[in-house]
Amino acid sequence: MTESFLEVRDVYSGYGKIEVLHGVSLTVAPKEIVCVIGPNGSGKSTLLKTIVGLIQPTRGFIQFDGSEISHKEPEENVELGIAYIPQGKNIFPSLTVMENLEMGGISLKDSRKARNAIQEIWERYPILQKRRKIKAGSLSGGEKQVLAMARASILQPRLILLDEPSIGLAPKVIDEMYHHINRMNREGIPLLIVEQNARKALRLAHRAYVLDLGRNRLEDTGEGLLNNEEVQHLYLGR
Amino acid sequence: MSYILQSIFNGLLAGCIYALFAMGLTMVYRVLNFVNFAHGELIMWGAYLLYLFMGDPFHFPLYVALIPALGFTILLGLGMDWIVFKPLRRTNRLTLLIAALGISFFLRNGAQLFWGAELRTYGFEIKRGWRLFHISMTANQMAIILATLGCIIIVYLLLYRSIIGKAMRAVSDNLELARVTGINAKKTIRFTWIISSALACVGGILLALDTNLQPGMGMINLVKAFAAILLGGVGNVWGALWGGIFIGLAENLSVLFISTGYKDSIAFGMMVLLLLLRPRVLYGSQE
Amino acid sequence: MDLFLHLWIMIFIYSIFAMSLNLEMGYTGLFNFGHIAFFGIGAYTSALLTLHQIPFALAFVVALVASGFFGFLLSIPSLRLRGDYFGIATLGFGEILRMVFQNEVWLTKGPMGLPGIPKPILFSYRFATLPQYLLLTMGLTIVTFLILRIIIRSPLGRTLRGIREDEIVLMALGKNAFHFKIKSVVIGSVFAGLAGVLWTHYTTFISPGDFTLSETILVLLIVVLGGKGTEWGPLMGAFVLIFFQESLRFLKLPTEWGRYLAPLQQMIFGGLLIFLMIYRPEGLIREKGEGR
């Protein structure tokens, strides 16, 4: 039996009196890309926020690399190597590109490590180096997304949680981004991706889940769900 | 003519002090998203604490007394946050405002309890100053300008050259994102209170140096600091600086036209004008 | 016996003052921290007019109109502000007005105050003695309570409460929230002025020092303690706090203690406010349907 790297078991969570997740479960194996799709309001974002600790689950169990993280705070989860890239506001607009990356490295105790990591970022994403003194708020949508992912990768994460990375982006930019996602995975990082524009993600994913109204609906390989007629009809708009 | 120049100079002087108040106030606002109504009392207690350590039974000289004065004001600011504001972090701004009003009231009367309501001064003798370009200034006033410049430089270095300062700016932008980036939000917030209280303390001491000490000095300056941050753009530290200077100038130039009894209401008047002319600046419940 | 009557007179006066703030703060959600200004305007207007031999009935009406008018003036610029900014702006207004009272010596005699304010005479009946005054204040308190109750339960009242809950929804419904807010502030100011009139003719001597932030804190505390947004809350709060405040005065403590007693009492009020916000923001009487 594969040891799951991330395990979410029967989690209930929400905002105050409003419960959004009613007993959701999933797993992510080491080096896997797992995708979660579903309509608006199904609780996909809530799920990621609960895993990283921004929201505390009311019931359920979350485990990462063998230790329980159900009620940990985001700061602790970051130390464990969980990187979370939120949907939308995922960079610090009033900080420069460089400063955004510096923030990414803030939890690395060794500042030399951080500086080296930033050097790598310049090599990997030359566009960011070109704009490194510019306030992140003036970047284009695609550039912001790239910066957000670069920021997360400085942490040398052991798991990346991505919330709708392709939202609001042009198709060419989305392609580029998924190219980076693929590359990161080939370097050994597992990713949990929540997507609305599911087609691309499903093609890339090893496994995928469908979440609807806060509950598990379907589970299969990425290909499997992509070819599933019901999924195509309900969630892929065909 | 020299009268006008003198007024401008006095205005800049007052403006420096207001700038310090406003910068401290806006820092807490940026990071915690509420106006600390008790900021005026940090100003006032900063001034009184220096008075305390220079008087019985300590009799420290000025520069030595500064250290405990700053230290205790910072403790006061941290204490305010820890005891009152932290438990209320998740409530609405109005609850925070009322709680801050309560703190302000508590601290103001606390000062009155210890020191009474009479005016006091530090008791430095007014030494002869200099005359430059028809403007006379005393050593005290030069100290105000130098101290303010020093504070501004420190704030700049902090916010733009230090990691914790950048973290402060990050937290101001987006608290949730900061947390998941690995920034220790609690430490950053504590640090913000330290800087805010320190600025209030220094400003209060400079104010008391230039004028006098009385328990009500916090409240009226809070209103001016608030007007300054509105003028400069809420949450904008450099805007607060300019806003403060502008108000200082406006106050001191206005006495050329209206009675001095209303000097303190100029700031409020500026605020009203701003609201009438550019209400979009603050309209609505968003932000 | 005199203490008893004095106590109740003060409780009634502050009840009216608190009910007026409750309309603005508790029901409409407008945190008017300069509310004392309208109390002061009512007080000074009535005092000045009656000191110049204007009959009380007329002075009374003018005072109320003046309070309402200034309430209207204040609301135009400041109601555009978001909740906490509105609070600070109105606080500033209160302070400015106090400065006006203090500086316009030709009008208000400034810090020296206005002594010898005559007792009210209505329909040739002079409310001079304590029991008579008690009757007057009690009567007006009841009238205020009933009028405000009618307003709260009317469509206007429901609209105001809607504003407190969610301005966006209300605007989407096409109602002009701004106009309703103005109405709330004006009505609140009128009743604050009423309280001011009653107070000034009771104490017969007023000065700018009577209208400071301390009074604002007191009435705020009354409303919050009693339970804002409730009908009986302000009365309850007034009873508890005024009882506490006034009985201290009559405890016949040595006068040297006075220097410490006043700020100490205010510190207790400040602390109470903090305590309430953290542990029981809804006050003594909970609002219907919410344990927020």
- pLDDT tens-digit map of B43-76: 999 999 999 998 878 888 888 999 999 999 999 9
Tell me the pLDDT band of B266, cut-offs 50, 70 and 90. Answer: confident
Tell me the pLDDT band of C175, cut-offs 50, 70 and 90. Answer: low
Inspect the interface and report whether the beta carbons of A92 and B177 lie closer than 8 Å: yes
Helices (H) and strands (E) in chain C, counts: 12, 2
Place of tokens 């603050």: B282
| Three-class SS state of A6 | strand
Among residues B14, B17, B16, B39, the alpha carbon closest in space to that of B26 is found at: B39
Inspect the interface and report whether the beta carbons of A106 and B163 lie closer than 8 Å: yes
| C127 within a domain of the structure (yes/no) | yes
Give Cβ neighbours of residue C4 (< 8 Å, ≥ 6 apart). none
Among residues A51, A107, A58, A60, the alpha carbon closest in space to that of A79 is found at: A107
| A207 within a domain of the structure (yes/no) | yes
CATH of the domain at B112: 1.10.3470
State pLDDT tens for residues C90-139: 888 888 888 888 888 888 777 878 887 877 777 667 777 778 888 888 88
DSSP output for C92-143: HHHHHHHHHHHH-HHHH-GGG-B--PPPPEETTEE--SHHHHHHHHHHHHHH
Owning domain of residue C44? 2-208
| A215 within a domain of the structure (yes/no) | yes
| A18 within a domain of the structure (yes/no) | yes
Question: What ipTM, to 2 d.p.?
Answer: 0.90
| B286 within a domain of the structure (yes/no) | no
Tally the domains of chain A.
1
Determine the pLDDT at residue C14. 93
Inspect the interface and report whether the beta carbons of B261 and C103 lie closer than 8 Å: yes
Owning domain of residue B270? 2-281
Inspect the interface and report whether the beta carbons of C92 and B268 lie closer than 8 Å: yes
Beta bridge partners of A209: A36, A219
Among residues A131, A77, A75, the alpha carbon closest in space to that of A101 is found at: A131
| A101 within a domain of the structure (yes/no) | no
Chain C touching partners, 3 or more CB pairs below 8 A? B
- Asked whether B221 and B43 are in contact (CB, 8 A), the reply is yes
> Residue ranges of chain A with pLDDT lower than 70?
1-3, 197, 237-238
Note if the pTM is more than 0.90. Answer: no
Among residues A3, A33, A58, the alpha carbon closest in space to that of A161 is found at: A33
Count of A-B CB contacts under 8 Å:
66
Please compute the mean of the pLDDT values over residues C4-28 and round it to a whole number: 89
| C219 within a domain of the structure (yes/no) | no
| A140 within a domain of the structure (yes/no) | no
Owning domain of residue A197? 6-88+157-234
Tell me the pLDDT band of C36, cut-offs 50, 70 and 90. Answer: very high
| C230 within a domain of the structure (yes/no) | no
Determine the pLDDT at residue C288. 59
Inspect the interface and report whether the beta carbons of B110 and C267 lie closer than 8 Å: yes
Mean pLDDT of chain B: 88
Determine the pLDDT at residue B284. 37
Determine the pLDDT at residue B47. 95
Q: What tokens appear for B103 in the block?
A: 């703190």
A and B interact (at least 3 Cβ pairs within 8 A): yes
| C276 within a domain of the structure (yes/no) | no
From the list C89, C99, C266, the residue facing B271 with the nearest CB is: C89
Chain B touching partners, 3 or more CB pairs below 8 A? A, C
- Long-range Cβ pairs for the range A2-5 (8 Å, 24+): A2/A29, A3/A29, A3/A30, A4/A28, A4/A29, A4/A63, A5/A29, A5/A30, A5/A32, A5/A64, A5/A65, A5/A158, A5/A159, A5/A190
Q: Tell whether C209 lies on the interface with B, counting CB pairs under 8 A.
A: no
What residues in B contact A147, CB-CB < 8 Å?
none
- In the sheet that holds A18-28, the strands lie side by side as A18-28, A6-15, A59-64, A67-68
Among residues B35, B49, B12, the alpha carbon closest in space to that of B202 is found at: B49
- Asked whether C220 and B101 are in contact (CB, 8 A), the reply is yes
Inspect the interface and report whether the beta carbons of B99 and C83 lie closer than 8 Å: no
- Asked whether A72 and A46 are in contact (CB, 8 A), the reply is no
| A104 within a domain of the structure (yes/no) | no
Beta strands in chain C (DSSP E): 121-122, 125-126
State pLDDT tens for residues B87-139: 998 887 778 888 998 999 999 999 999 988 888 888 777 777 777 777 788 88
- Please give, rounded to a whole number of angstroms, the shortest distance from the CA of C2 to a CA of chain B: 30
Among residues B180, C167, C265, the alpha carbon closest in space to that of A162 is found at: B180
Residue of B nearest to C103 (CA): B261
| A11 within a domain of the structure (yes/no) | yes
Among residues C185, C160, C154, C193, the alpha carbon closest in space to that of C175 is found at: C160
Q: Does A30 sit behind a cis peptide bond, omega within 30 degrees of 0 on the bond before it?
A: no
Q: Tell whether B90 lies on the interface with C, counting CB pairs under 8 A.
A: no
| B287 within a domain of the structure (yes/no) | no
CATH of the domain at A168: 3.40.50.300
Q: At residue C292, what is the residue type? A: R
> Is residue B261 scored above 80 in pLDDT?
no
**Through-space distance between the first and last CA atoms of chain B, rounded to whole angstroms:** 45
State pLDDT tens for residues C225-241: 988 888 888 898 999 89
| A106 within a domain of the structure (yes/no) | no
Tally the domains of chain C.
1
From the list C82, C220, C264, the residue facing B284 with the nearest CB is: C82
Per-residue burial over B128-154, b if 16 or more Cβ lie within 10 Å, else e, is eeeeeeebebbebbeebeebbeebbee
Q: In angstroms, how far is CA A84 from the centroid of its own chain?
A: 5
